[in-house]
Structure 1
Amino acid sequence: MKNVVRFTAATLRRRLRPLGRLAGWSAAEALPALLAGHLTARAVDEGFLAGRPGVGLAWLGVLAGAVGIGAFGTRRAYACLGDVVEPFRDELAERVVTGALLRSTAAGARPETSAVARLTHQVEIVRDTFAGLVMVVRGFLFTAGAALIGLSSLTPVVAAVVAVPLLAGLVLFAAALPAMAGRQRDYVRADERLGEAAGAAFAGHRDVVACGAQEFVAGRVGRQVDRQAGAERALARMAALRSLSLAVGGWLPLAVLLLAAPWLVRRGLTAGAVLGALVYVATGLQPALHALVQGVASGGLRFAVTLERILTATAPPPAGTPPPAGTPPPAGTPPPAGTPPPATPHAGTAPPADPDAGPARRGVEPVPLAAVPATGGGTAAAVPWAELRGVTFRYGTQARPILDGFDLALAEGAHLAVVGPSGAGKSTLAGLLAGLLRPEAGTVRLGGVPVGGADPAVLARHRVLIPQEAYVFTGTLLDNLRYLRPDTPHGQVETAVDGLGLRPLVSRLGGLAATVDPPTLSAGERQLVAAVRAYLSPAPLAILDEATCHLDPVAEERVEQAFAARPGALVVVAHRISSALRARHVLILDGGCPMRGRHDELLARSATYRELVGHWQGQPAA
């Protein structure tokens, strides 16, 4: 929790002026707590018991005036609260976004699916609980302090009698805080694990359906739901400790004061002073303690644990981490003239491999991957457009390898479809071919050039990757299409538009010079724009990682056939059987030994492929 304390303290130090205003209005708000018991005692002793009700009412009128001042102070205190809380929330959101971008775009990193939960859920938890924590802590300090000062003005003996159980209740509550924090931490972690499991299931839902794994995935997500529910129930049980602290610190002083009243009267304390002491305890100390305990036990713990989780997860990567290859420009910014093309034509990332699926099915030992010979129509002696030799890759040092000793060569005219269940390594292979991921062992070459440490501009000349979520920026449609090759002749652009089926969108927008508003485009239209952009790029190797999943089968076939006729090589991570049927060769990845061949060959040789084809076609596997 030290980093939470340091981060919060640094934030508060930067807002001393708003905190000063908040403290000033809090003092005004605490004025009734300071005067309530004293004015009540004067009204009783000097007014009502003395037979002068007018004097008693006058003192109560003064108290009513103090209550009015306190109400105005409360109003102004809440107005000052925003000046403290909202900048804190903005700083935290910026840290979450920056940390997620740095980690997700670092070389070899996997996209952070839990970053969305942090930004949309956890940051708001911290903002709301921080505001509540500020209000309850300053309320307790000012209200309880005012009540104790007022109580001491009546009689120091009563103040001492009341302070002992109050302090005991606070100590008991403080001793229980570590256990409460542990339960809250378990709840936050369960929430994140549930978000990650659900995100992986949603991202791979087509593969899940294709493989008939709905019950397995639903069961895995369901277990995370059960764990989160259990953590929340354990957190709720800690309410008993809060009740005990309130009983000792809030109700015991009141009972002690009532029991000691006869003794206090015999020592000369007036009836009005006893009543005033009861007012201080019942309307000042007890509500302030209740607000503090409830606020810290619920909102305060959620604040500390959630903020600790955010600070840990968004810590900057180690110094010297290389920048990502081909990070795209921010949305809404057209590319400046003369800017070299980026390594990838998109703002998103390819869907992550299922973190729980691993390179092989649970309980199956990893098998070294067999060599996959060069595919394509070129000669065997030709330098392949892409080549992987002895490549091993895993997510984490303790994880099983996604690829192990993997070989692949793609020559001129290659058209390879990559199929397999979710988590088998399809998108991983695409990332390795594109140079976005670095292998643990082995080499990856594009056009004979090693991709490790290669300049993004060099990689962009050799390959182009289109992921599932296509990136389109605000600007003219022509700028979007020529982004990877700004000097593309206008006629060549028109030919690509017609060849890949983008003409209806061009007509709807009013021509290539029309300005594109990305949110108004459908997912399929964005994919077509990205496809034409990649088609016009100078890169001979095109990698389509489920890049046509939002298109209908006819449009998908048109795009794939256009890329297959384009000079170079084509790799398609397939989500429909039709893509595998169109390819010259099919590579099946199933977590064990990969197998390459034509569609009819794999039907005869691979049980996994027959199962996939059966699910694709809605028929049982042969």
Structure 2
Amino acid sequence: MPEAVTDGRHGTVPGEPLRRSGPRFLIRRRQVLGRLAGWSLVESAQTFLFGFALARALDDGFLRGAPAVGIGWLAAAAVCVGAGAYGTARVYGAVADLVEPLRDSLVRKVVRRALYAPDGAAVSRLTHQVEIARDTFAGLVLVSRSFVFVTAGALIGLCSLAPVLLLLVLPPLLLGLALFGWALRPMARRQETFLAADEAIAAETGAALGGLRDITAAGAERTVADATGERFDAEQRASAALARWSMCRVLALGISGRLPIVLLLLGAPWLLGRGVTPGALVGALAYLTQSLLPALQSLMHGLGTSGTRLGVVLRRLTAEPATRPDGARPHRTPHRGTAVELSGVTFAYGPHADPVFRDLDLSVPDGGHLAIVGPSGIGKSTLAGLVAGLLEPGSGEVRRPAVADRVLVPQEAYVFSGTVRENVRYLCTDGRDGSDADLLAAAEKIGAGALLARLGGPDGTLVPSELSAGERQLIALVRAYLAPAPLVVLDEATCHLDPAAEARAERAFAARPGGTLIVVAHRISSALRADRVLVMDGTHARTGRHGDLLRRSALYRELTGGWAHEGPDGAAGAAPLQPAFPARDADGVDAVAGSRLAGDGGHVVAHGPGRQMQDAGDLGDRGALGGQ
């Protein structure tokens, strides 16, 4: 699991409505829009000249017995076609400059929302809906600006040939466009229903694929198949409803694009009788069939299918819920002077599962250093996930800092191919680039200076497969140290380092100005270094200092006795190891805290400080006592 910077500011990921963010996005790229309009004007010049040149070629050339004049006009139209092709090539470059920033922005929003409120639909948003938005936005830009410029060129051309032609063209054109505009909103609603069904399918199938073994073991194949089938049926119904409303697009295209052609042919005698020349009539037909009708087809197909889909997708990708999708309570920041607060928190991985912990209260002050200890599988990483905001409690309240103020480093450190600088600075989202000197100083404090020197410094290339697990952890620790987040949660993030390297890294984080450190301990020395220790024993927990917990917590004494014997600096044998339980035996022999695992025969150790413990089997006894 990679490092995660989580969000939770007032229960939402900061965002703004599409009606404001959309125009703002375009305004910031007004230079790109100006370049796009200029090349579109060059591209559409052929629209005006095509019909006009055809009319002149007939009226002034071929019908008057001057073929050279007619051919000249046609040659001029051909030259404009070449100029239009040149403008089209430049149009695509401007569209790319407009589309790619939108895609990058949407990807960032989707990833941030997935970290804040993960759900099954996040996969559909990132892999499907973002690409829908990218492709349809590009198509919409192309068809909409083409319609505007082509329609303007065609209408200007009709007016230049004979203004009376507009009487037969404009009314049906406006009527069809009005019908199409009226149908857009219902089509968008049906499109949104279709996309919601698609998200439901992604969530349902994702859950089913992840639990195939359990489904088979429980004999629930038919139940899961029926539930999944209902999702596909809902998508089919949504698709059918969308198709029915799409018929309005066909009707609107017939009225606005094809009806003017019929009216022009039916009204030809009337037009010829009012001074419209044959060439002007042919030119008008060329404007309608070769320019206006294709532009209308592209517009209505683009807006009616891709355009409505784009609006729905953008709204779903950019609009953030007031509460998390799982129904959890809105996030609240901790009280003044505290970094993290948990009040009456109960958490379980499912409605019928036993709680990992129940009614947990915890307060970590600003600048504090807390170590979390407990047997393996007791819920230490779960608690780290709650503190980092990756999980929400079933009941109770978790108060944590905002997204930019907390960072989680998991046991499996994530690094990617790139330079060292790119790997260790990608959590630095506060706008401060920092210097390489700061980077190297941080690496020295963490204990990664030699590693960075071997890799070639900040500009060195990092190949994840060539690093050991411990080296990857060092890179991740430097990354977290450089991040602006004051709260750092280390979830066994040093388990592949030796005790001395672990101690150095933890001391560096604990000494960060204004920093708060929470460590899921891998060794007992992490607890010895901490200001306070949280001992987890299943559904309850106890906090205190190391010495206090040795007196008050049997589990902590047991963990201390069973852990590798080491001091706070990670050195072995730095302090005497006390017996796990108070001495009671008259012969001065007491049981050591057992692991409670199979084969634990209850070893014994003499009263008082002990420097070592003999392993089972060393005594050579194979008798009735089990060979201990």
| TM-score, normalized by the shorter chain, greater than 0.5 | yes
Please name the residue that 1:216 is paired with.
223
For residue 299 of structure 1, report the CA deviation from its aligned partner.
Answer: 1.3
Please name the residue that 2:102 is paired with.
88
Please name the residue that 1:359 is paired with.
351
**Any conservation in 1 of the 2:147–2:296 contact (CA below 8 Å)?**
yes
For residue 542 of structure 1, report the CA deviation from its aligned partner.
Answer: 9.2
- C-alpha change, 1:66 and 1:442, in structure 2 (3 Å) is closer
Task: Pick from 535, 546, 549 the counterpart of residue 522 of structure 2.
Answer: 535
Q: How does 1:104-253 map to 2 (within 5 A)?
A: 111-253=118-260
- How far apart are the structure 2 equivalents of 1:69 and 1:316? 54
**Any conservation in 2 of the 1:168–1:248 contact (CA below 8 Å)?**
yes
- State how many pairs are aligned: 433
Q: Is 1:277 equivalent to 2:284 in the alignment?
A: yes
Structure 2 unaligned segments of length 5 or more: list them: 1-15, 341-346, 362-371, 421-442, 449-454, 456-460, 474-491, 498-520, 528-532, 539-558, 567-593, 599-628
For residue 236 of structure 1, report the CA deviation from its aligned partner.
Answer: 3.1
Structure 1 unaligned segments of length 5 or more: list them: 104-109, 324-341, 344-351, 362-368, 373-387, 393-411, 419-424, 444-450, 476-482, 489-508, 510-514, 546-560, 569-581, 587-622
- How far apart are the structure 2 equivalents of 1:217 and 1:526? 40
For residue 133 of structure 1, report the CA deviation from its aligned partner.
Answer: 0.7
- How far apart are the structure 1 equivalents of 2:402 and 2:94? 51
For residue 249 of structure 1, report the CA deviation from its aligned partner.
Answer: 0.6
Please name the residue that 2:41 is paired with.
27
Q: Deviations over 1:43-101 (max 9, x none)?
A: 11111111121211111111111111111111111121111111222222222223333
TM-score normalised over the length of structure 1: 0.58
- How far apart are the structure 2 equivalents of 1:428 and 1:201? 23
- How far apart are the structure 1 equivalents of 2:91 and 2:49? 20
TM-score normalised over the length of structure 2: 0.57
- C-alpha change, 1:32 and 1:472, in structure 2 (3 Å) is closer
- C-alpha change, 1:567 and 1:220, in structure 2 (3 Å) is farther
Q: Deviations over 1:475-518 (max 9, x none)?
A: 8xxxxxxx9x9699xxxxxxxxxxxxxxxxxxxx9xxxxx9844
Q: Is 1:257 equivalent to 2:244 in the alignment?
A: no
**Any conservation in 2 of the 1:194–1:224 contact (CA below 8 Å)?**
yes
What amino acid is aligned across from residue 180 of structure 2 in structure 1?
F
What amino acid is aligned across from residue 106 of structure 2 in structure 1?
L
- How far apart are the structure 1 equivalents of 2:176 and 2:402? 64
- How far apart are the structure 2 equivalents of 1:114 and 1:157? 56
For residue 246 of structure 1, report the CA deviation from its aligned partner.
Answer: 0.8
What amino acid is aligned across from residue 359 of structure 1 in structure 2?
P
- How far apart are the structure 1 equivalents of 2:401 and 2:158? 75
Identical counterparts, % of pairs = 45
SS of the counterpart of 2:64? coil
For residue 245 of structure 1, report the CA deviation from its aligned partner.
Answer: 0.9
> Larger Rg: 1 or 2?
2
Please name the residue that 1:311 is paired with.
318
- How far apart are the structure 2 equivalents of 1:454 and 1:60? 71
- How far apart are the structure 2 equivalents of 1:148 and 1:454? 60
Please name the residue that 2:72 is paired with.
58
SS of the counterpart of 1:535? coil
**Any conservation in 2 of the 1:415–1:584 contact (CA below 8 Å)?**
no
For residue 19 of structure 1, report the CA deviation from its aligned partner.
Answer: 0.8
- C-alpha change, 1:222 and 1:538, in structure 2 (3 Å) is farther
Q: CA RMSD in A?
A: 5.0
- C-alpha change, 1:221 and 1:264, in structure 2 (3 Å) is same
What amino acid is aligned across from residue 526 of structure 2 in structure 1?
P
For residue 148 of structure 1, report the CA deviation from its aligned partner.
Answer: 0.3
Please name the residue that 1:98 is paired with.
112
**Any conservation in 1 of the 2:380–2:536 contact (CA below 8 Å)?**
no
Please name the residue that 2:29 is paired with.
15
- C-alpha change, 1:564 and 1:51, in structure 2 (3 Å) is farther
SS of the counterpart of 2:526? coil
- How far apart are the structure 2 equivalents of 1:264 and 1:43? 19
Please name the residue that 2:61 is paired with.
47
Please name the residue that 1:593 is paired with.
none
The runs of at least 4 aligned residues of structure 1 exceeding 6 Å deviation read: 314-320, 425-430, 432-436, 451-456, 464-467, 472-475, 485-488, 520-523, 525-530, 540-545, 561-564
Please name the residue that 1:400 is paired with.
none
SS of the counterpart of 2:253? helix
Q: Is 1:290 equivalent to 2:277 in the alignment?
A: no
SS of the counterpart of 1:538? helix
- C-alpha change, 1:271 and 1:314, in structure 2 (3 Å) is same
SS of the counterpart of 2:17? helix
SS of the counterpart of 1:99? helix
For residue 215 of structure 1, report the CA deviation from its aligned partner.
Answer: 3.9
For residue 359 of structure 1, report the CA deviation from its aligned partner.
Answer: 1.0
What amino acid is aligned across from residue 311 of structure 2 in structure 1?
A
**Any conservation in 1 of the 2:373–2:534 contact (CA below 8 Å)?**
no
What amino acid is aligned across from residue 60 of structure 1 in structure 2?
L
Please name the residue that 2:11 is paired with.
none
Q: How does 1:567-578 map to 2 (within 5 A)?
A: none
Q: Deviations over 1:383-439 (max 9, x none)?
A: xxxxx55579xxxxxxxxxxxxxxxxxxx9975768xxxxxx999789569997565
- How far apart are the structure 2 equivalents of 1:188 and 1:168? 30
Q: Deviations over 1:133-152 (max 9, x none)?
A: 11111100000011001101
- C-alpha change, 1:391 and 1:201, in structure 2 (3 Å) is farther
What amino acid is aligned across from residue 152 of structure 1 in structure 2?
C
- How far apart are the structure 2 equivalents of 1:223 and 1:204? 19
- C-alpha change, 1:302 and 1:271, in structure 2 (3 Å) is same
What amino acid is aligned across from residue 86 of structure 1 in structure 2?
E
For residue 313 of structure 1, report the CA deviation from its aligned partner.
Answer: 3.5
Q: How does 1:192-591 map to 2 (within 5 A)?
A: 192-313=199-320, 321-322=332-333, 359-360=351-352, 388-390=357-359, 439=393, 471=414, 517-518=463-464, 532=496, 535-536=522-523, 538-539=526-527, 584=596
Q: Deviations over 1:420-474 (max 9, x none)?
A: xxxxx9997895699975656569xxxxxxx976999xx99xxx9978x765689
What amino acid is aligned across from residue 190 of structure 1 in structure 2?
A
Q: Relative to structure 2, which stretch is displaced further, 177-186 or 3-12?
A: 3-12
